[in-house]
Structure 1
């Protein structure tokens, strides 16, 4: 077993299943093929909505969204959730079960965004879609917790920066799940975990190039932001065996330096995209429970 591999047998079994649906060299395939493989992978790990959680598709500010409501009376902020997938794959369907379970576990309303994907739509299309939905929800008088995994975490952090810089009030929390935030691709976890299971550093470079953002754009690369002051309280979780690990570590540390209240958690046996393993891996199950609890705290803050 190499230093870039976990030892938990369930997470290794999870990764083997993932590799069977979405090959490690998937980025060499056509975009349409990547999306077909990814959709099949997501269906493999799909699960029914928790009892009482409802979901309704609608259009908000011209953008498709899926609105989840728990069976209990939701109190506090609404979660605005952006899915992962390297800005290239993923959809409302790919993260449906995850969103429903988070809404139920945190007892919160959650709105997932069907943002436009690259390479058909380059940056800032995805961010603009998220911003349009954010403004619409704030216009309804809602308080918002921004959340996202992987590329979705990147979008959530970028939206938090945009909302701050535009003087929008009402964004009260930020949840980042193994986010890619614009690290240098050559040092730290990008070197240590260059060939980690499920996501390699070369994969990150590939997706970043397809996204088409300038390297000095802080909305696309939030670690490049001059200051993280006045961002909302945050929950940041990363995976030990993930080239993106240090992006989350560094962002959380900078938030603390800027005086922002941060809860940081590193999953010691997890790989990128471990959310999908929450029903088969003890480590992922514990990480998901902590994530839901952290989200609930921000929603009710």
Structure 2
């Protein structure tokens, strides 16, 4: 197969972002220990971190025994439960702090970021157990609707929580917004093949994270691990999946939306051209990434308000 020409597919702003992001990683990054990878990732995230919008208050508190960070701009009847990305290996409350603060400011909703346990110290199902425990405690602590959201690995956890929550919580989940999520799709086709060696995330990277997350033995047919491995996609909340074209995971969004719609639910998948995995952080350097983030916040706002369709692709 002819490999995509990313010099054509990606504009100068995205290349500048990737160059800056990659500058934090040494040439022998593949040989770094997990602790070293986390240190590099944290330094990179800190370099891109933006000040909180005016009026956003934050505090740290545990829900269900899981460390979390709450963001509020005003009294809100809607709570966004946010699960951060990072391959289940890196990331935390600080890595996505400004993203969550800006979601709060843009929507007016309360946002709670969940600091679930990371691998290899805590292998699957520890990450899911934390995600679920925090969700249950947050649902008990606050009245009103809940929007589940997350990027990459966090999108996986949001979908797994939504699927596990079916039939409980009296319809409290207003919807879910998944940002370039990894959902366990078919790696023999689609973006897994076309963009197997995409910048910022490759199929080989995904295999590494999977081995670390699972402790070396990935579960089979466990939707808590891979939501697309479920056999029942009925009764899921309205779902928006936002992916990017230059990413091996993009086909997961297409497949998940098709599964939900095929089961009689409401799902919308949108793939943004000219962007790479992890581009939420690029919003400060790229107009395309900024527009993508605006779609994320608009989708969260619409889903929380019960509006459908929840996204405009015009």
TM-score scaled by length of structure 2: 0.91
Q: 1:103 aligns to what? A: 104
Q: 2:184 aligns to what? A: 182
Residue 4 of structure 1: how far off its partner (Å): 5.1
Larger deviation: 33-42 or 183-192?
A: 183-192
Task: Say whether the 8 Å CA contact 1:61–1:133 is kept in structure 2.
Answer: yes
Q: 1:31 aligns to what? A: 34
Give me the whole-angstrom Cα distance separating, in 2, the residues matched to 1:280 and 1:152. Answer: 23
Task: Say whether the 8 Å CA contact 1:4–1:192 is kept in structure 2.
Answer: no
Larger deviation: 253-262 or 235-244?
A: 253-262
Larger deviation: 152-161 or 209-218?
A: 209-218
SS in 1 for 2:284: coil
Give me the whole-angstrom Cα distance separating, in 2, the residues matched to 1:181 and 1:254. Answer: 12
CA RMSD of aligned residues (A): 1.7
Q: Which runs of 5+ in 1 are unaligned?
A: none
Q: 2:289 aligns to what? A: 284
Q: 1:22 to 1:158 in 2, by over 3 A?
A: farther
SS in 2 for 1:246: helix
- What is the aligned length? 298
**Structure 2 residue 210 is matched with structure 1 residue 208:** yes
Deviations 1:19-50 (A, max 9, x none): 11135864432101110110011011100000
SS in 2 for 1:21: coil
Give me the whole-angstrom Cα distance separating, in 2, the residues matched to 1:151 and 1:27. Answer: 20
Task: Say whether the 8 Å CA contact 2:151–2:180 is kept in structure 1.
Answer: yes
Q: 2:19 aligns to what? A: 16
Q: 1:267 aligns with which of 272, 279, 292?
A: 272
**Structure 2 residue 202 is matched with structure 1 residue 197:** no
Give me the whole-angstrom Cα distance separating, in 2, the residues matched to 1:42 and 1:9. Answer: 21
TM-score scaled by length of structure 1: 0.95
Q: Give runs of ≥4 in structure 1 deviating > 2 Å.
A: 22-28, 140-143, 166-169, 184-187
**Structure 2 residue 13 is matched with structure 1 residue 7:** no
Q: 1:218 to 1:26 in 2, by over 3 A?
A: farther
